[in-house]
Structure 1
């Protein structure tokens, strides 16, 4: 029984421990067999996705260190599996909590900033003033660009968590009205819930892609 609207996002379990956080590692049970067993349709499909992402990230990163696309592919895979697993009943959605999304976004952004300011200081300073800015507006542009750089990990984390929470909350609200609804309304609710699950599946893919592609763009700016 839910004590409040957000209790469906509570990480505590019946053992009074946060064991539900272990659900973020369930993806490790699905990916390795696809590469070690006899190649299947799942293997070819997942390999096609990885190669498409690799080519896109490689184009965005330009002349960077070989293998640098792997971290972004791994990031995409982890978020995608967590988003999808959260759509199944009684499986905890780790990406709906800011503590996890910030743990993914903040170290990435911090490492990009440290690397950029230590190795490409002139390039990073040039980014603070867009080309063609009038001299009188330069101090304001430096402040605006600095603020936009600082809030990047926050926007990445909040975007992912908010999109995961919004759909789950809507499905929870509609599901709670089911027991007291008439048969006609129940059928309407069932159709709406199916459509919402399809929408949430699309959101799970899109948000993991957006998180990975924005991280790639942020890293390409420091080179």
Structure 2
């Protein structure tokens, strides 16, 4: 079990500095020069994706958060970029570690809390008690809403890391059984299963990035 989870540890180092975390920058080498030089199919596709996300995030955010959708589009781009990069062989998946996911969710949540309690104090207090709550249940609702608010950055980080590491673990387990198989038929089934699982992981990489960005947008819209 220790050897199984050791594949997710940043073990490559130079002068005691972890090199595996540099994988987040490796994808820049795969971006073709024509993407920046002139309009291409890739640039047109990415423009359509970002414009669709902008319209959706703008609908979730209030009018006072002009331009905030660009922040969450960048957040989505960063996460989906690292998720897809981790599907390549021998590439360290930074988004499957709590260090990476908490570094994204915790500063965002702290910033939202500071902004909300300073600029919208009454609204933040009113948000702790849902409308129509009986007077007897108000102390319990305040406790429940406070706990649910505090664990938000943790749930964002755990959801992303757990979904990414689960698929990688399953791919690793199935891949390690390949050399021990003697039957060509069973090996063909294993390869086909790996292809299907890799397709599923590609979908998970997009979905989890989208969920992270949408939930962050909803948390932002609640403070106003």
Q: TM-score, normalised by structure 2?
A: 0.95
Q: Where does residue 4 of structure 1 map in the other structure? A: 3
Q: How far apart, in 2, do the equivalents of 1:179 and 1:32 lie?
A: 36
Q: Where does residue 45 of structure 2 map in the other structure? A: 45
Q: Where does residue 214 of structure 1 map in the other structure? A: 215
Quote the offset at 1:31 in angstroms: 6.0
1:106 and 1:153 in contact (8 A); partners too: yes
Q: Deviations over 1:30-50 (max 9, x none)?
A: 569565311100000000000
Q: How far apart, in 2, do the equivalents of 1:26 and 1:134 lie?
A: 55
Q: Where does residue 150 of structure 2 map in the other structure? A: 150
Q: How far apart, in 2, do the equivalents of 1:137 and 1:146 lie?
A: 14
What is the RMSD computed on CA atoms of the aligned residues? 1.7
Q: How far apart, in 1, do the equivalents of 2:172 and 2:127 lie?
A: 44
Q: How far apart, in 2, do the equivalents of 1:35 and 1:126 lie?
A: 48
Q: How far apart, in 2, do the equivalents of 1:31 and 1:77 lie?
A: 14
1:102 and 1:154 in contact (8 A); partners too: yes
1:60-75 to structure 2, matched below 5 A, reads 60-75=60-75
Q: Where does residue 111 of structure 2 map in the other structure? A: 111
Q: Where does residue 171 of structure 2 map in the other structure? A: 171
Q: How far apart, in 2, do the equivalents of 1:14 and 1:109 lie?
A: 32
Query: What SS is found at the alignment partner of 2:87?
Result: coil
Task: Report how many aligned residue pairs link the two structures.
Answer: 222
Q: What are structure 2's unaligned runs of at least 5 residues?
A: none
**CA 1:34–1:62: 2 relative to 1, 3 Å:** farther
Q: What are structure 1's unaligned runs of at least 5 residues?
A: none
Q: TM-score, normalised by structure 1?
A: 0.95
Q: Where does residue 13 of structure 1 map in the other structure? A: 12
**CA 1:13–1:150: 2 relative to 1, 3 Å:** same
Q: How far apart, in 2, do the equivalents of 1:21 and 1:121 lie?
A: 39
Q: Where does residue 193 of structure 1 map in the other structure? A: 194
> Which structure 1 residue ranges, 4+ long, deviate > 2 Å from structure 2?
14-17, 25-36
Q: Where does residue 132 of structure 1 map in the other structure? A: 132
Query: What SS is found at the alignment partner of 1:26?
Result: helix
Quote the offset at 1:8 in angstroms: 1.3
**CA 1:92–1:120: 2 relative to 1, 3 Å:** same
